[in-house]
A and B are shown apart, each in its own frame.
Chain A
Amino acid sequence: DIQMTQSPSSLSASVGDRVTITCRASQSISTYLNWYQQKPGKAPKLLIFGASSLQSGVPSRFSGSGSGTDFTLTINSLQPEDFGTYFCQQSYSTSTTFGQGTRLEIK
């Protein structure tokens, strides 16, 4: 299986901050990397697919970049509703795997 490692595991940031979450794959996955946001008690929501494509309806303050093994999710001008846990997912291999998650808290 391809292992996905996110960092940090948790972070706290203020409204208006720029936040960066990283995801590293154990082998090259090209740009087959997706990002999800999950709020407590809810299902995950797709934010970014193909490493950098914004899912329809997702605010433009969310962006993704990277290729190969290293990827980044950036939230510009953090908003109060952006709290939650963020997961990366590789869809390169038949057996898809997720990162362990990054919990984002709003100060």
Chain B
Amino acid sequence: ILNVEQSPQSLHVQEGDSTNFTCSFPSSNFYALHWYRWETAKSPEALFVMTLNGDEKKKGRISATLNTKEGYSYLYIKGSQPEDSATYLCAFINGNNRKLIWGLGTSLAVNP
């Protein structure tokens, strides 16, 4: 059974704080890692698709890194804003069957 774990499960930060959270996945037979943001009452929105060890991707104040050898990815948010409040989900794709295996998400609340 392949597990994807995200930590922390939830966190509360103040507006302007920078924050980061982790997605851990099996390090063998890696194919790709996806990050999504899911705001309440909306549909999940793709942030990044990462495929290479050492990948770093950035979209505005959000960035992500990937370490496939040790099986983790970090998502960073610089200068959090209330509109960043959402659940951040990662999904791992195993090279055997190319199915996405999802973590449970990190729920971020940014207080103004």
Q: Do A and B bind each other?
A: no
